């Protein structure tokens, strides 16, 4: 069993994100960056699958971006990924092109399963898993909250608005992970130190014979969050009164 | 803004426990106080604290301050109608002869000042904490009157009582300028307006050295990262919410029960020094996260696993990380500096701001209104580093504070670490 886990470096979305005055990009200097939480869930699930299968599983973490994205690949390695691969790409590709790059990686690596976050918390696109399955003509199971291997593939409980839907997909397949699938572990001291020394394979787009075909252009970013303020009330009655008077 | 206070008797910069306690005590003595908070009240270090209260400190005076603090908290609980102090008792444990000697000395010192403390047999420790590994322990001591203060409830009580006495708070209101003329404070300037005031208190916690920088005053504090874990309640392993807090100096750990789970934190040898200037302007400490491969977290889990073998990297738990304000000698900086009249400091609580804040508020109000206090504040006076060579440059202050943090629970046997709660 070989599992490919795409990983994305994202800013910590719980911090206040500021945008350049010209609206071209977020101000990323001094922002803390993390492995996309949904991708961390995917890495954790891959490691658990390997543990269940007595180690007969190879986990490959892949990311697309600048050199600095190696930090998040090392997070994946420290959590238990066996190998890591960086596709160097200086311009952030849109979801369609991320899926095209991942298709090239998938064709090269021939995994049995692509396990990835349902979306990245920076742009919340929620498109790449679906695009990738379509490009590969593989079955897909999105928003997974439980995975079980069965004879003819993988049984996946999906989170939908109405409740849980259980589907079975044959392998190879693309599965995207939802929040409740698992709780990712923290890396141990020894695995962090080991991950720091591990070599990370690098490819450029030409190595993968991919040319970007942008379909999406970001025209303008702006923040809508206004300054929240906190006021204390002394009784429930005062709260009700103020809500009546001060809200529209 | 219609109700913007154009004047005040005292402006307090920083809406954490130090600033709010000071504001409340001043208001109780009929001062008109305005608290200015850069973000949300109680959302900085105060909101990230574990709140452990170990009253027995290195000196009789610091112990007296903490014991008096408990009485203040008891009164606050009555006035605000919340439970702040959870009296669980506390245990110090030793698994080496050197640590056992520390405990012996501590018991003697405590008894000499009439503090309730005694040795506890290891069998009794094991009975009282079935979820902790006790093999290899050689001694322990128990302080029945210790416990922890609940930080959120303490903040709420300071606010409740303070507001009743007229304390005015502005959140999301960073101070841009401290107005000074003829070496006297005249007030502060913010984006919302200026406030004229003869007294300004810098209680800005990790930001306090930047606030001091507004008047070109070097302040001997540094901002250091800290992390603790809270295990999720597990019916298989119940944690009695009244079981005693633990201090294990050898492993550098402290622990206490928390709503069915267990909080365990560590004063590690290495930590992160934060440059507060370089954080984003809207930085929210309450939203700080750790990476899954954070070394500090890994070291914490490694040490915790030795004392609580059922906790490892995969245990369901949350990590709480925040920033503490350290000083070169592990004591806070309270009072005035010689350069500017009317400018007071109240910062640098080295991870013990919650428990020191009740009495510190009294001391600050004493100093501001009367210029003196009944407490012996020699050890915490803000001016003790004032003209000391080597305590003026940021880099060196940071290094000294970092060294202090590393020796906080004292690792090397035979070497005197700081005596902390």
Contact (Cβ atoms closer than 8 angstroms) between residue B350 and residue B404: yes
Q: Which one, of B204, B167, B209, lies nearest residue B46 by Cα? A: B204
Range A2-246 has CATH code 3.40.50.620:
yes
Task: Kindly determine whether residue A74 and residue B295, on different chains, have CB atoms separated by under 8 Å.
Answer: no
CA-based nearest residue in chain B for residue A9: B291
Contact (Cβ atoms closer than 8 angstroms) between residue B12 and residue B19: yes
Does residue B2 surpass a pLDDT of 60?
no
What is the domain partition of chain B in residue ranges?
A: 10-51+152-220+328-406, 89-146+223-326
Residue listed under structure tokens 């720091």: A196
Mean predicted confidence (pLDDT) in B191-212: 97
Chain A with chain B: Cβ pairs closer than 8 A = 81
Could you tell me the pLDDT band of residue B59, with boundaries at 50, 70 and 90? confident
> If you write DSSP's letter for every residue of A156-194 in order, what string do you get?
EEEEETTEEEEEEEPSSEEEEE-GGG--PPPPPHHHHHH
pLDDT of A245 reads 86
pLDDT of A229 reads 64
pTM (two decimals): 0.91
Could you tell me the pLDDT band of residue B233, with boundaries at 50, 70 and 90? very high
ipTM computed for the complex:
0.87
Contact (Cβ atoms closer than 8 angstroms) between residue B37 and residue B171: yes
Chain A residues whose C-beta sits inside 8 Å of any chain B C-beta: 12, 14-16, 18, 27, 30-32, 34-35, 40, 74-75, 78-79, 183-189, 191-192, 195, 227-230, 232, 234
| Consecutive 10-residue averages of pLDDT for chain A (248 residues) | 97 89 89 95 97 90 97 98 97 95 98 98 96 98 96 94 95 97 96 97 96 93 71 85 82
Does residue B113 surpass a pLDDT of 90?
no
pLDDT of A18 reads 87
Range B10-51+152-220+328-406 has CATH code 3.40.47.10:
no
| B199-202: strand order across its sheet | B168-170, B33-36, B10-13, B199-202, B343-347, B333-336
Cβ-based contacts of A40 with chain B (< 8 Å):
292
pLDDT tens, residue by residue, B10-32: 999 999 999 999 999 999 999 99
- CA B353, B45, B223: angle at the middle one, nearest 5? 90
Helix axes A189-197, A70-79, angle to 10 degrees: 140
The B residues from 295 to 314 touching A (CB cutoff 8 Å) are: 295, 297-299, 301-302, 313-314
Helix axes A128-136, A95-109, angle to 10 degrees: 50
CA-based nearest residue in chain B for residue A188: B298
B130: its two tokens? 């079935």
SS3 call for B35 = strand
Q: How far apart are CA A92 and CA A89, in angstroms?
A: 7
Which of A32, A79, A232 minimises the CB distance to B159?
A232
Q: Is A119 exposed, middle or buried (0-12, 13-18, 19+ CB in 10 A)?
A: buried
Task: Kindly determine whether residue A229 and residue B172, on different chains, have CB atoms separated by under 8 Å.
Answer: yes
| A201-204: strand order across its sheet | A163-169, A153-160, A140-150, A173-177, A113-117, A2-6, A58-65, A83-88, A201-204
CATH topology of domain B89-146+223-326: D-Amino Acid Oxidase; Chain A, domain 2 (3.30.9)
Q: Name the least confident of B67-71, B218-222, B337-341, B411-415.
A: B411-415
Could you tell me the pLDDT band of residue B418, with boundaries at 50, 70 and 90? very low
Q: How far is B291 from chain A (nearest CA, A)?
A: 6
Could you tell me the pLDDT band of residue B420, with boundaries at 50, 70 and 90? very low
Polymer length of chain A: 248
pLDDT of A225 reads 62
Does residue B413 surpass a pLDDT of 60?
no
pLDDT of A228 reads 61
Strand partners, A149: A154
Cβ-based contacts of A79 with chain B (< 8 Å):
292-293
Residue listed under structure tokens 């202050």: B397
Task: Kindly determine whether residue B292 and residue A185, on different chains, have CB atoms separated by under 8 Å.
Answer: yes
Could you tell me the pLDDT band of residue B419, with boundaries at 50, 70 and 90? very low
SS3 call for B248 = strand
Interface test with A, best of B157, B229, B270, B293 (most A CBs within 10 A): B293
What is the domain partition of chain A in residue ranges?
A: 2-246
Task: Kindly determine whether residue A188 and residue B172, on different chains, have CB atoms separated by under 8 Å.
Answer: no
Mean predicted confidence (pLDDT) in B201-211: 97
């Amino acid at each position: 069993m070989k599992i490919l886990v795409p990983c994305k470096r994202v800013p910590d979305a719980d911090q206040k994100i500021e945008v350049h005055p010209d609206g071209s990009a977020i101000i990323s200097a001094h922002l803390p960056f993390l492995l996309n939480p949904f991708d961390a869930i995917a890495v954790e699930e891959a490691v658990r699958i390997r543990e269940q299968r007595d180690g007969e599983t190879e986990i490959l973490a892949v990311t697309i971006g600048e050199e600095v994205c190696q930090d998040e690949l090392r997070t994946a390695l420290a959590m238990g990924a066996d190998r890591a691969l960086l596709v160097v790409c200086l311009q952030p590709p849109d979801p369609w092109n991320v899926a095209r790059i991942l298709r090239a990686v998938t064709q090269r690596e021939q995994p049995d399963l692509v396990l990835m976050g349902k979306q990245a918390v920076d742009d919340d696109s929620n498109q790449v898993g679906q695009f990738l399955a379509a490009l590969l003509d593989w079955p897909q199971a999105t928003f997974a909250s439980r995975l079980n291997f069965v004879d003819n593939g993988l049984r996946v409980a999906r989170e939908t608005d109405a409740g849980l839907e259980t589907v079975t997909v044959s392998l190879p397949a693309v599965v995207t992970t939802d929040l409740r699938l698992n709780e990712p572990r923290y890396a141990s001291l020894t695995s962090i130190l080991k991950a720091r020394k591990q070599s990370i394979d690098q490819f450029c787009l030409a190595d993968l014979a991919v040319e970007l075909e942008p379909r999406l252009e970001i025209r303008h970013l702006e923040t809508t969050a206004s300054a929240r303020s906190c006021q204390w009330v002394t009784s429930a009655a005062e709260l009700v009164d103020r809500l009546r008077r001060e809200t529209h | 803004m219609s109700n913007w206070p154009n004047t005040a008797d005292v402006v307090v910069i920083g809406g954490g426990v130090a600033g709010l306690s000071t504001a409340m005590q001043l208001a109780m003595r009929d001062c008109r106080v305005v608290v200015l908070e850069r973000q949300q009240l109680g959302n900085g270090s105060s909101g990230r604290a574990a709140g452990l209260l170990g009253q027995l400190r290195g000196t009789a005076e610091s112990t007296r301050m903490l014991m008096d603090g408990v009485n203040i908290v008891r009164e606050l609980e009555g006035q605000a109608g919340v439970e702040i102090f959870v009296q669980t008792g506390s245990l110090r444990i030793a698994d080496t002869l050197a640590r056992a000697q520390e405990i012996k000395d501590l018991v003697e010192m405590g008894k000499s000042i009439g503090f309730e403390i005694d040795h506890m047999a290891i069998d009794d420790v094991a009975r009282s904490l079935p979820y902790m590994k006790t093999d290899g322990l050689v001694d322990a001591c128990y302080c029945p009157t210790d416990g922890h203060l609940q930080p959120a409830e303490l903040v709420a009580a300071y606010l409740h009582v303070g507001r009743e006495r007229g304390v005015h708070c502005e959140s999301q209101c960073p101070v841009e300028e401290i107005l000074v003329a003829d070496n006297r404070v005249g007030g502060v300037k913010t984006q919302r307006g200026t406030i004229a005031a003869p007294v300004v208190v810098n209680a800005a916690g990790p930001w306090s050295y930047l606030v001091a920088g507004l008047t070109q005053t070097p302040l001997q504090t540094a901002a250091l990262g800290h992390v603790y874990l809270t295990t999720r309640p597990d019916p298989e392993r119940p944690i009695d919410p009244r079981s005693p807090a633990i201090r294990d100096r050898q492993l550098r750990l402290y622990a206490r029960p928390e709503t069915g789970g267990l909080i365990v934190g560590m004063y590690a040898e290495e930590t992160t020094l934060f440059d507060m200037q370089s954080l984003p302007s809207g930085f929210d400490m309450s939203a700080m996260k750790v990476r899954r491969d954070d070394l500090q977290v890994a070291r914490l889990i490694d040490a915790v696993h030795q004392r609580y073998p059922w906790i490892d990297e995969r245990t369901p738990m949350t990590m709480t990380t925040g920033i503490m304000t350290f000083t070169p000698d592990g004591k806070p900086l309270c009072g005035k500096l010689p350069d500017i009249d009317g400018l007071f400091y109240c910062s640098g609580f080295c991870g013990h701001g919650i428990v020191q804040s009740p009495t510190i508020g009294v001391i600050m109000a004493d100093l501001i209104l009367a210029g003196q206090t009944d407490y012996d504040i020699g050890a915490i006076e803000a001016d003790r580093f004032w003209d000391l060579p080597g305590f003026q440059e940021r880099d060196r202050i940071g290094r000294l504070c970092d060294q202090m943090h590393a020796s906080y629970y004292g690792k090397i046997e035979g070497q005197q670490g700081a005596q902390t709660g």
